[in-house]
Structure 1
Amino acid sequence: MPLPPIPTPPSQVAQFPRTEETPEGCIVIDDLDTDDFLYSTYITHETYVTRALADGTELPLGVDIYTPFHDDGNMPNGEPEAGWPVIVYMRGAAFHKPNPSTFNSLYIRLAEKGYVVVVPEYRPSDVAPFPAQMQDCKTAVRYIRANAERLGIDSERIGLFGDSAGGHTVLMAGFTGDTAPDTPDYQPVSAEVKCIVDWYGPTDFAMMNYYPSSQNHAPAECPEGMEIGGVNVLEHPELSRNASPMTYLDADRVTPPTLIMHGGRDLLVPFNQSCRLYATMRALGKDVTFYKLGNASHAAYGFRSNRAVGLVLDWLAERL
């Protein structure tokens, strides 16, 4: 006889009656009943600010938003009552125009674990040097916070994550928050964040040439020289100091908990850059965690691994 349907709302799917039917030769796996990645990802794009440039033109800056969701009726929605926590990710590109989609796999890995991942475009250094990039990052934070209800996010749980030049940007934005260098966009909404993840970001331009590297980090046309206005880094120590995240650390100002990860074979950003930041933060009593991936290079040979991303996710679970 045909069987009647068994009404099963998403919250009760896991309790649906188990069948014991097992054909001969079928391999039964009984210890697998938990999903390692929970959510699908819905990707949207919108403009968060339009910048007036020095030549009189305007540059609209967009943001890609990766939102977790369940795409069927087999699971509860899972969205926290207060909204999703947020990771604003600044993609590195030697302070030039980034191609954010080159890290799509990372954004989706974060989103499938229950984070809204926000990936802003920002002004490249040949269009607007320091502090434009950090200002764009803070503007993106304010934009997301101002639109929290529409986007379904928790405005109190926003963290920053960046790699290489993007690591520098999130350190600068996270350390300064609502203080200068800043912009008036979306104020008085706050740009303060809960935590920062820095992957192999430069932290002290003037010291980069004193440690092994495949690049010369001094000339005006090098990434660091372009970032401080197209001048020689070693000939302009004050500009380099102003662009150093350590300059904006203060024992009396609260600093977001910070995770630093850097490869021991980094050929573009010397490993010592993260050592300097870590030592400064520890001396000031800041909450800082530092992982050295001993044989990793710049963005590869270790960083594109489940283990490295797992370290970030474990750390974020405690702080965001």
Structure 2
Amino acid sequence: MIPVSSPSTFIEPRDVDYADFPASTLVSEGMQVLHADLKPEHGTAILGVEYARKDGLTLHLQILLPPMEPESTAVFPLVVFVQGSAWFEQDLGQSLPPLAHFARRGYVVAIVEYRPSPVAPFPAQIRDTGTAIRFLRRKASDFHIDPNRIVLWGDSSGGHTTVLTCLTDGDPFFSDEPVDEEPLNIRCFIDYYGPTDISRMNEEPSIQNHIEPESPEGMLIGGANVLDHPDLVAPTVAMNHISPTPRRRPLLIVHGNKDRLVPFGQSVLLHDALKNAGQPVTFFQLKGADHGGPSFWKEEILSIVDNFIRVNI
């Protein structure tokens, strides 16, 4: 048995600031010395934050903080991102890596989980997004959020949810909370290739049937044939919620012209309706882009999104 040696000295632990903590003077032959860069380059992920319980489901947020010094009290604009999923159960990690990269530009990013359509059809997804935003506003100090600078962003069905959330803001039908007591306070919003009129999606080439009861669009309205139920479809159509007054928040649309799932014309319909109503909208066609993919997360496109946000918050 190897005997345990007794330490020659014992230094009493003391809780001291980094600046007052002594640097080690010990050396070892062959040791190489590097100088530490203490500036933070990456943020922090806070995963699985519960924000609500509805229909027997616990709904979560994945929250990404920008780089900041330890013990910082800084606050940042909040980007709430609604992950697309054809309104079914979301893969909440799908866009997490590029959004973590985007957070480094100086944003808190919160990815919203909504109830999937087989559990709760439209407008549950709109109501859940509003609930999530109100939760984040109440907890702003916990997550370094500036509650007066909130942006909503979504892709595909998350884009549809984003657009409908903003266009129906203030309508109690689309909210699970009193709208007059807890406003959403969204400053601007971004739509990545979201559907806008589910009854017209098969008017253009697509690799998917958008009409049948079991289609994503049919499930959104409760498992019904889209063309046979215009009464159920009407509230889901973004253009039905556009009017010249009041002036809405600015919208940025980005959509690929080779989208095989959500036809490009869906964004044309929305852009034209907003322009005709005198509402603020900016529209980019991403030439050659399919339904999502890496082209939407390139630095050039993210800089367009970043600049749009900074101008409008």
Higher Cα Rg: structure 1 or 2? 2
Q: Do residues 164 (structure 1) and 156 (structure 2) align?
A: yes
Percent of residue pairs bearing the same amino acid type? 35
* Residues 48 and 62 in structure 1, CA contact (< 8 A), matched pair in contact too: yes
Deviations 1:169-202 (A, max 9, x none): 0101111123132112797221231011000000
Q: Do residues 47 (structure 1) and 39 (structure 2) align?
A: no
Determine the structure 1 residue equivalent to 2:295: 302
TM normalised by structure 1 equals 0.81
Instruction: Compute the RMSD of aligned alpha carbons.
Output: 2.0
**2: CA distance between counterparts of 1:159 and 1:206?**
28
Determine the structure 1 residue equivalent to 2:244: 251
Determine the structure 2 residue equivalent to 1:316: 309
Determine the structure 1 residue equivalent to 2:59: 61
Unaligned runs of 5+ residues in structure 2 are 1-18, 20-38
Determine the structure 2 residue equivalent to 1:266: 259
Q: Which deviates more from structure 2 when the two are superposed, residues 285-294 or residues 40-49? A: 40-49
Judging changes above 3 Å, is the alpha-carbon distance between structure 1 residues 78 and 315 closer, same or farther for their aligned structure 2 residues? Answer: farther
TM normalised by structure 2 equals 0.83
Judging changes above 3 Å, is the alpha-carbon distance between structure 1 residues 211 and 191 closer, same or farther for their aligned structure 2 residues? Answer: same
Determine the structure 1 residue equivalent to 2:214: 221
* Residues 96 and 126 in structure 1, CA contact (< 8 A), matched pair in contact too: yes
Pairwise CA distance, 1:66: 0.6
| Alignment size in residue pairs | 274
**One-letter amino acid of the structure 1 residue matched with residue 42 of structure 2:** S
**One-letter amino acid of the structure 2 residue matched with residue 216 of structure 1:** N
**2: CA distance between counterparts of 1:294 and 1:237?**
33
Determine the structure 2 residue equivalent to 1:197: 190
**1:303 partner SS:** helix
**2:131 partner SS:** helix
Determine the structure 2 residue equivalent to 1:18: none
Q: Do residues 292 (structure 1) and 285 (structure 2) align?
A: yes
Pairwise CA distance, 1:149: 2.2
Pairwise CA distance, 1:302: 2.0
**1: CA distance between counterparts of 2:149 and 2:70?**
27
Deviations 1:3-56 (A, max 9, x none): xxxxxx9xxxxxxxxxxxxxxxxxxxxxxxxxxx985211113110111x2xxx
Determine the structure 2 residue equivalent to 1:236: 229
Pairwise CA distance, 1:151: 2.1
**2: CA distance between counterparts of 1:284 and 1:136?**
28
**2: CA distance between counterparts of 1:38 and 1:286?**
40
Determine the structure 2 residue equivalent to 1:155: 147
**1: CA distance between counterparts of 2:261 and 2:289?**
12
Judging changes above 3 Å, is the alpha-carbon distance between structure 1 residues 85 and 62 closer, same or farther for their aligned structure 2 residues? Answer: same
Q: Do residues 178 (structure 1) and 180 (structure 2) align?
A: no
**1: CA distance between counterparts of 2:216 and 2:40?**
39
* Residues 219 and 232 in structure 1, CA contact (< 8 A), matched pair in contact too: yes
**2:94 partner SS:** helix
**2:90 partner SS:** coil
**1:69 partner SS:** coil
**2:63 partner SS:** strand
**1:130 partner SS:** coil
**2: CA distance between counterparts of 1:196 and 1:95?**
19
Match of 2:100 among 102, 108, 114: 108
* Residues 139 and 186 in structure 1, CA contact (< 8 A), matched pair in contact too: no
Pairwise CA distance, 1:71: 5.3
Deviations 1:138-183 (A, max 9, x none): 1111111111122221111001000000000010111112313211
Pairwise CA distance, 1:297: 0.6
Q: Which runs of 4+ in 1 moved over 6 A?
A: none
